[in-house]
């Protein structure tokens, strides 16, 4: 089970690194973070879900900041 999670984690990292489009990069980051969380949970790290939520919260703040910069007229 851990080997499958490691494979998906590497595939998510490759999706971010290859980055043919922004959507593929975002999908790779989400895939790698979810699989990384599952991997940590399978190893017994009990705060994996909390760290996933903190990470996604940081991504959301960056996304909102970027959207506000694009939407600004001046």
Contact assessment for residue 52 and residue 32, using Cβ atoms and an 8 Å cutoff: no
Q: What is the pTM of this model?
A: 0.69
State the pLDDT at residue 30.
84
* Total domains in the fold of the chain: 1
- The boundaries of the domain holding residue 11 are 1-72
State the pLDDT at residue 64.
78
Within the chain, which residues score under 70 in pLDDT? 19, 21-23, 74
SS3 annotation, 42-67: HCCCCCHHHHHHHHHHHHHHHHHHHH
């Amino acid at each position: 089970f851990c080997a499958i999670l490691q494979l998906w984690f590497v595939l998510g990292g490759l999706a971010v690194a290859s980055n043919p489009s922004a959507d593929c990069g975002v999908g790779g980051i989400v895939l790698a973070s979810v699989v990384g969380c599952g991997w940590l949970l399978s190893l017994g790290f009990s705060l994996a879900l909390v760290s996933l939520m903190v990470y996604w919260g940081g991504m959301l703040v960056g996304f909102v900041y970027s959207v506000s910069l694009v939407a600004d007229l001046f």
